Structure formats: C-alpha cells, structure tokens
Structure 1
Amino acid sequence: MFWKRKKKEKTPSPEETLPVRHVSIDELREAVHKYADSLPKGVQLSVIINEDLTMNYELLAPFLKAIPKETYYMSRETYEIFEEKDKQLAEELDMIQKAVDKYVQQKKELPVIEGDPYHRVSYLKLEKLNLLPYRPDRDFYITDEEFLITHRKPQ
C-alpha cells in the first residue's frame, strides 16, 4: 500500500506578509534597540548584520511591522547604522576599528597622533604595522568608551 504524503504548507516569510514601506533611520534604530533587548543572553547583536553590512530585515520585521524600502548598513564593530549613501563610511569604520584593536594588542598603546587633543587616529602608525589596506580620506577619532572609533570630531 502506498501512502500519500501530505504536502507541508510553507510558512510565509515576513517579506511575503509585511508591507514594504519607507522606514526612517530613527525608526530603524528603535527597532534595533528592541531587537537587542529581546536577544537571549550570550547572543550578539551582530546576528542582524549580513556579510555586506546590510541589515537582516527579516529579523527586524516583527519590531518594524514592515520591511524597509531603503537599504541601511550597520557597522559590525560599533553597531552604528548608516544610510545607503554612507556605506563606505560603515566599511571604513569597521576597517579602522579592527586596525586600532590589532595595534593596541601589539603595541599596548593607542595609535593616536601625538599631541592631538581629539585623539585622532594616526594612519601612519597603523600603516607601519601593515594594518591598513588603504588610507581613508576622512579622519577617525578614538573615544574614551572602550576605545571605540568614531567619525564625529569630539567637541
């Protein structure tokens, strides 16, 4: 006797059921905070960051109640969110953060320009240890908060 298998009904993904609409960067940030608060202990927020630094909207959809029309990027190192026009900034932020972390590991000091009151990253120091594939056209600064990198000049 042959048994007929029941076809499994496919559960629709959030992309198939939620509306695609404009989502502001502030709305997205709020959804990311809610998502982060819901993560089990030990799970990193980086699970929502795809390899190309785009964000996994499927994971954020329950908090947004929509799928964003826009493409947003998130720094894997600092978790800062960027609009599509600032994709290169997100990539450079990650590159510089990794280089600074490796520099500190090797030299046990920060790679800052001597005497710079803003703690501007010294590309020369990073290049001497071959930690940079290229020199960015913008300045980055080291914050007091866990030596994170920022592109915003301190006040």
Structure 2
Amino acid sequence: MLFKRIKKEPDPRLITVTLPEVKQAVRQFEKDMPAAINRTVLMKDDKSIDLSRLARYLGGKTEQKFYMSRETFEIFEEAEKDIPYFLDMVQLAVDNYISDTGKLPLREEASLPEVHYHLLSSQRYLKETPPFPLYITADELMLTHRAEHFK
C-alpha cells in the first residue's frame, strides 16, 4: 500500500459553543466596536458568521457554524441555516412592497400577521417562496419565523 490513511484527530484546542454564547459574543463584539460598525461585518457571503473574529469573546476557536440574517440580525445554528436566507429575501420584498403601496402584504384569512407570498410573487417583489410561513411583527415591521412571538 503506497498511501497510508491518516486519521484526523480532533483539534483539542477547539471549543464547542452554544447559540446563546454566540449571541452574547456578537453583542459584545458590536459593543466594543466604534458606533459606525455593526455586527454584519462578521458575516461571510454564505451568511455564516466568521467565528474566528469572535474567538476572544468565546474563549477559543470553534469549527461550528452559525448563520445570521442581515436584515433582522437574528442568529441561527447550522441546522437552521436556510432561515436567514429566506428572512433577508422576504424582508426586502416586504419593505419594497410597503414603500410602493403603503400597505402590508398580509394573508387576510390568516389568524397571525402572515406574509402573503403569492401577492408578493405575483407583483414581482419575491422571486422564491420560503417553505415555511413568515410573520410581520409590530416591532419596526420586521419579520420572524416564530409564530410563538404572537402568543
């Protein structure tokens, strides 16, 4: 056998972090930065957070991935990495629709303030429909995927 398989051992210097720890590290990072700099500078193109820049707040380096919405600043674990993509896309569509029409794009038959995807798509504000509902909050008309926000 010419090549010997080398088993990669986990790096003992790497740490495991929780979502609350990452959220706290991001808040502290933003607090320590000049006022003109916000947390979105931590985002990579794929919406993942550059955790190497948070190592001093987290207490070490990690290979875990967390993702953030550029529009809502909400942070997600890797299992939910599609949520920030859809949040950002729909938030922009909702903002543009409101700016153009002065109305909220809500489903009339819904018991919660659910975004009306078909309305936004038919009027070319939305190019892709999320596979889950999004809701418009009263807080600055920001979106959330959490129905429990309204209970």
TM-score scaled by length of structure 2: 0.85
Does residue 26 (structure 1) correspond to residue 20 (structure 2)? The answer is yes
| Correspondence 1:33-48 to 2 at 5 A | 33-48=27-42
1:106 — aligned with what?
Answer: 100
| Correspondence 1:52-63 to 2 at 5 A | 52-63=46-57
Does residue 65 (structure 1) correspond to residue 53 (structure 2)? The answer is no
C-alpha distance in structure 2 between counterparts of 1:67 and 1:33, whole Å: 17
Identity %: 33
Cα RMSD (Å) of the superposition? 1.6
Q: Decide which of 134, 143, 146 is 1:140's aligned counterpart.
A: 134
1:9 — aligned with what?
Answer: none
Deviating beyond 4 angstroms after TM superposition, the runs of 4 or more aligned structure 1 residues are none
Report how many aligned residue pairs link the two structures: 138
In the alignment, structure 1 segments of 5+ residues that lack a partner are: 1-18
2:8 — aligned with what?
Answer: none
C-alpha distance in structure 1 between counterparts of 2:141 and 2:33, whole Å: 25
Displacement of 1:146 after TM fit? 0.6
Q: 1:120–1:141: 8 Å Cα contact kept in structure 2? A: yes
Q: 1:23–1:69: 8 Å Cα contact kept in structure 2? A: no
In the alignment, structure 2 segments of 5+ residues that lack a partner are: 1-12
